[in-house]
Amino acid sequence: MELENKDYTDVLKDAQLNGFAESDPWLDVAGFDTKFKTSLLTIHAFGIVLNPDDIFNTGIQNIIYDDILYAKQRGLRVKMLGVSQKVGDKFRVYAMPHFVSKESELYNVLYEYNAVEVEGAFSCKQTFVGKGAGSHPTGSAVLSDISALTYDYKYGYKKLKKALNNNVKIEDGIKQVEFDFPIKLYIRFQDKAQLNDLEILNIEEEYKSATTNYIIANVNFNSLFNIYNKRDNKLFICAI
């Protein structure tokens, strides 16, 4: 949308024609695919198993060019991110669009490319970039799965195994996740009544015009589940 100055519907059609999005693109555009990947990465990184429904996700399904323009004017880009991080003794896991600045390695991850950014307790950030869609990447992934089945290869979930050896139950993973925390969001809406489902803690900025309305606000993260997986939800939400 940004680089080719196209509307969302046109870009989505292009993605479908090129095999980057399904005929029903909901799992792609609404952040479910990102969430499922984040769930697996959370097991590898922290040994925590979560029910996907316990991980909030929203995507780019409601994005319009006004949102791209807002980011562009501020030297930012909109990126769909899955987040899994330790904050204190708790974990925050979710998937949603974020504004990313030029200082971030993720800023220049474009088109069908994906990236994984890893930061350890005693290491700096490392970023791994590669194609996440298309005939060759998909074919390579399928061949990898066939090879794994042929040679009985299995992923090693070392952190999970360690947790289980310490008598931590798989179902206790949810107890380690934090939901009650403030998160700063850009929220574009058509009607202010659409915000009623959210617990808005305070509004830092509000903009209204004949074509678009948005607020910059701190929101109780837990209240985002009130709009979870609603196809009729028209809000565009982006983390700041």
Look at the chain and count its residues. Answer: 240
Mean pLDDT of the chain: 94
The separation between the first and the last C-alpha atoms of the chain, rounded to the nearest angstrom, is 20
In the set 6, 13, 37, 86, the catalytic residue is 37
Report the C-alpha gap between 114 and 109 in whole angstroms.
7
Specify the pLDDT at position 203: 98
The predicted-structure confidence for 51-89, as pLDDT tens digits, reads as follows 999 999 999 999 999 999 999 999 999 999 999 999 999
**Predicted confidence band at 155 (pLDDT cuts at 50, 70, 90)?**
confident
Give the domain ranges of the chain: 8-239
Predicted local confidence at residue 86, as pLDDT: 95
Per-residue pLDDT at 21: 87
Q: Residue 211: pLDDT band by 50, 70, 90 thresholds? A: confident
Q: Is 31 left (phi over 0), alpha (psi -120 to 50) or beta?
A: left
Identify the pLDDT of residue 18.
87
The sign one gets for the Cα dihedral 71, 75, 78, 83 is negative
Q: What is the pLDDT of residues 5-49, one digit of tens each?
A: 999 999 999 999 988 888 999 999 999 999 999 999 999 999 999
The reported pTM is 0.92
Beta strands in the chain (DSSP E): 56-57, 76-87, 90-101, 113-118, 126-131, 182-189, 200-208, 213-220, 236-239
Burial of 212 (0-12, 13-18, 19+ CB in 10 A): middle
Report the amino acid identity of residue 12.
Answer: L
Topology, domain 8-239: Dihydrodipicolinate Reductase; domain 2 (3.30.360)
Q: What is the pLDDT of residue 114?
A: 94
**If we measure between CA atoms, which residue out of 206, 201, 192 comes closest to residue 221?**
201
CA distance 162 to 9: 46
Residue 37 designated active-site: yes
Question: Quick one: angle between helices 158-165 and 32-46, nearest 10?
Answer: 60
